[in-house]
């Protein structure tokens, strides 16, 4: 069966191939997520409205690499640092690549690279770019599970990657 393009937007393409429909990510060099701990041991979380689910969602700082005109070959680590600063107002001290893998292997070709940092330092307001309305929450690592429960009780949704990030965050915090 031939590959068929069903539709295309600025950053996505809907494809049908061998009876399978999926979304390809286009016009980016990758996707990054940052698990950032402050010197005080707080995990940096963000919350923003996500139109596809019609709700505010608690997430990790994240974004696209290579999506800025003239920066198509942007390194993933550079994008991670940029997204962390843009969304949270914090800069990374010792950014390191932790893992990579598919976000939703049955739906999209997206491969996400996860970076971690500890000792992140606040240098700005954060909140995202002119198209975003991001709230920033530095939450003590030990308090994250209860804090997430409270956000859900208040009507927000939680991206499940936040729960997975706790495993990495605990190891980052304990590392020498």
**Domain extent at residue 53:** 30-96+115-174
pLDDT, one tens digit per residue, over 74-83 is 999 999 999 9
135: CATH:
3.90.79.10
Whether 93 contacts 81, CB under 8 Å: no
pLDDT, one tens digit per residue, over 20-79 is 999 998 888 899 999 999 999 999 999 999 999 999 999 999 999 988 888 888 999 999
Residue 107: inside a domain, yes or no?
A: no
CA–CA separation, 150 vs 112, rounded Å?
A: 28
The count of structural domains within the chain is 1
CA–CA separation, 128 vs 49, rounded Å?
A: 12
Residue 1: inside a domain, yes or no?
A: no
Residue 90: inside a domain, yes or no?
A: yes
Residue 159: inside a domain, yes or no?
A: yes
């Amino acid at each position: 069966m031939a590959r068929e393009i069903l539709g295309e937007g600025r950053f996505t393409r809907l494809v049908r191939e061998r009876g399978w429909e999926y979304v390809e990510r286009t016009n980016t060099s990758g996707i990054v997520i940052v698990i950032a701990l402050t010197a005080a041991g707080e995990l940096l979380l963000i919350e923003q409205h996500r139109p596809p689910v019609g709700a505010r969602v608690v997430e990790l700082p994240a974004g696209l690499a290579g999506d800025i005109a003239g920066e198509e070959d942007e390194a993933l680590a550079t994008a991670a640092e940029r997204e962390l600063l843009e969304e949270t107002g914090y800069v990374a001290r010792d950014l390191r690549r932790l893992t990579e893998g598919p976000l939703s292997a049955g739906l999209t070709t997206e491969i996400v690279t996860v970076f971690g940092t500890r000792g992140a330092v606040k240098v700005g307001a954060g909140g995202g770019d002119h198209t975003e309305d991001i709230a920033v929450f530095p939450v003590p690592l030990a308090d994250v599970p209860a804090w997430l429960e409270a956000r859900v009780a208040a009507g927000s949704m939680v991206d499940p990657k936040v729960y997975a990030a706790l495993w990495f965050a605990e190891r980052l915090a304990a590392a020498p």
